[in-house]
C-alpha cells in the first residue's frame, strides 16, 4: 500500500427516504471513532452502540467495508427501544499513513434504512519519516528557516543511519541518534538567501539496509521577495472601446507597494510595458509603503479583447530593487 496515500475505504448508506412509513429507525451512538496514532501490526478495536428507536426488533444481516482489514461482530437483533453492540477490528499489518474507513450497517430487511460507521486515524508503518515524508516551506528572501524531522523504525529489524546529505545547497541537514536502530532526529536548515521563486532538493538518508540504502525526503522552498504589491495583480474594470481609445483615469486604479520588513524606501521610477499606460507613485506616511496610480492615455491601439502587461517599479532597496506587477485590461 502506498505510504503517501490515505487509505480511503467507503461504502455509505443514505438513510430514511426509501424506508416505509413506521420503519424502526436505527441510529449509531458516536458513529465516528478516531483511534489516533498506532504502530502498524497493532489491532484497532472499538465497540459501537446501535440504537433502535422503533417499536419492533430489527435484525442485522451484515456490517461491510471495502477493505479486508476490517472485521465486525454484532448482535443479531436490536430490540425495540433498546440497543445492540457492533464490535469492530482493523488489522493494521498492511496499512500505513492516514486511514479513513467507512462501514455500512445492513438490516436483514432491505427496505429498512441502515447506518454508517466511521473510523479514522494514523498508522505508523515499518519505516516512517515524521511528521511527513516531505518538506515544504515558505520564507521571505534572506530569512533562514529550520525544520525538524524524525525517522522512526517500527519493524522488528533495526536500521542504522550512516549519513544524511542533500542534493541542494539550499537544504542543509544534520542528524543525531535518539535510539540506536530505532529513532533519529534530522534538523534541516533552509537557507533563505535565494532569489524569489521555488527551490527544490532531496534529502538522502543513507542506511545500512540493503533494501533501503537511501530514504529520500523531497524538499521545496518558496522564497518571496521583501517587496510586495497589494493586490498582486491590478485588474482594471472593463472599458468600452470608446473609453479605452479616449483615455481614462480613476482614483481607484492603484496598487500599494510595501516592504514586508517595514523598511523605508523610495520609488525611483514606475513604468509599464504597455505604451498607453501611464503610472506614477505617491509615498504613504512613514515611507515604508507607496501607492502606484495608473491611467489609460489616449491611443489608437486598444481594441475589443484582453490586454495583459505589467508595471515595473524601481526602488532604493538594495535587496529588492525592482518589482513587477501584472496589469490586465478588458475592452468590450
Q: Where do the structural domains in the chain lie, given as residue ranges? A: 7-124, 127-224, 227-331
pTM for this prediction: 0.66
Number of C-alpha atoms within 13 angstroms, CB side, residue 175?
23
- Residue range 127-224 in CATH 3.40.50.970: no
Pairing status of strand 248-259 against strand 227-230: antiparallel
CB-CB contact of 112 with 103 (8 Å):
no
- Measure CA of the first residue to CA of the last residue in the chain; give whole Å: 54
Cα(104)–Cα(84) distance, integer angstroms: 15
In the prediction, which pLDDT does 253 show? 92
In the prediction, which pLDDT does 104 show? 94
In the prediction, which pLDDT does 118 show? 95
| Helix, strand, coil share of the chain (percent; to 5) | 5, 60, 40
In the prediction, which pLDDT does 251 show? 83
In the prediction, which pLDDT does 318 show? 82
* Dihedral of alpha carbons 49, 53, 55, 59, sign: negative
- Alpha-helical regions (H) of the chain: 241-246
Classify domain 227-331 by CATH number: 2.60.40.10
What secondary structure letter does DSSP report for 304?
A: S
SS3 246: helix
CATH topology identical between 127-224 and 227-331: yes
Walk along the chain (332 residues) and give the pLDDT tens digit of each residue. Answer: 443 333 333 333 333 333 344 544 789 999 999 999 999 999 999 999 999 988 899 999 999 999 999 999 999 999 999 999 999 999 999 999 999 999 999 999 888 888 899 999 999 999 999 999 999 999 988 899 999 999 999 999 999 999 999 999 999 999 999 999 999 999 999 999 998 889 999 999 999 999 999 999 999 999 988 899 999 999 999 999 999 999 998 888 999 999 988 899 999 999 999 999 999 999 999 889 999 999 999 999 899 999 999 999 999 988 778 899 999 999 98
Q: Which CATH number fits domain 7-124: 2.60.40.10, 3.40.50.2300, 3.90.1150.10, 1.20.120.1200?
A: 2.60.40.10
Cα(195)–Cα(35) distance, integer angstroms: 44
In the prediction, which pLDDT does 274 show? 93
Beta bridge partners of 303: none
Q: Which residues contact 220 (CB under 8 A, 6 or more apart)?
A: 134, 135, 136, 137, 198, 199, 200
CB-CB contact of 50 with 28 (8 Å):
yes
Cell triple for 43: 489491532
Cell triple for 243: 473609453
Pairing status of strand 32-39 against strand 115-124: parallel
Amino acid at each position: 500500500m502506498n505510504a503517501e496515500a490515505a487509505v480511503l475505504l467507503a461504502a455509505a448508506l443514505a438513510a430514511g427516504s426509501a424506508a416505509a412509513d413506521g420503519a424502526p429507525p436505527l441510529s449509531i451512538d458516536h458513529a465516528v471513532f478516531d483511534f489516533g496514532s498506532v504502530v502498524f501490526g497493532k489491532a484497532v478495536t472499538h465497540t459501537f452502540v446501535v440504537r433502535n428507536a422503533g417499536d419492533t426488533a430489527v435484525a442485522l444481516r451484515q456490517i461491510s467495508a471495502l477493505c479486508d482489514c476490517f472485521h465486525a461482530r454484532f448482535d443479531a437483533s436490536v430490540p425495540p427501544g433498546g440497543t445492540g453492540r457492533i464490535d469492530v477490528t482493523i488489522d493494521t499489518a498492511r496499512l500505513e499513513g492516514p486511514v479513513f474507513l467507512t462501514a455500512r450497517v445492513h438490516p436483514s430487511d432491505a427496505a429498512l434504512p441502515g447506518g454508517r460507521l466511521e473510523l479514522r486515524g494514523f498508522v505508523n508503518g515499518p519505516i516512517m519519516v515524521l511528521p511527513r515524508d516531505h518538506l515544504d516551506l515558505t520564507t521571505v528572501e534572506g530569512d533562514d528557516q529550520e525544520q525538524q524531522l524524525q525517522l522512526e523504525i517500527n519493524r522488528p529489524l533495526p536500521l542504522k543511519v550512516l549519513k544524511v546529505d542533500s542534493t541542494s545547497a539550499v537544504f542543509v541537514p544534520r542528524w543525531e541518534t535518539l535510539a540506536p536502530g530505532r529513532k533519529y532526529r534530522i534538523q534541516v536548515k533552509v537557507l533563505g538567501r535565494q532569489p524569489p521563486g521555488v527551490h527544490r532538493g532531496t534529502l538522502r538518508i543513507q542506511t545500512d539496509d540493503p533494501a533501503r540504502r537511501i530514504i529520500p525526503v523531497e524538499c521545496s522552498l518558496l522564497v518571496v521577495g521583501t517587496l510586495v504589491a497589494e493586490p498582486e495583480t491590478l485588474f482594471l474594470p472593463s472599458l468600452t472601446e470608446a473609453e479605452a481609445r479616449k483615455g481614462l483615469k480613476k482614483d481607484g486604479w492603484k496598487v500599494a507597494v510595501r516592504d514586508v520588513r517595514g523598511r523605508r524606501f523610495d520609488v525611483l521610477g514606475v513604468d509599464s510595458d504597455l505604451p498607453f499606460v501611464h503610472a506614477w507613485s505617491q509615498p504613504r506616511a512613514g515611507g515604508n509603503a507607496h501607492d502606484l496610480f495608473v491611467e489609460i492615455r489616449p491611443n489608437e491601439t486598444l481594441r475589443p479583447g484582453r490586454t495583459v502587461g505589467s508595471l515595473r517599479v524601481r526602488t532604493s532597496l538594495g535587496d529588492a530593487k525592482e518589482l513587477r506587477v501584472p496589469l490586465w485590461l478588458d475592452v468590450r
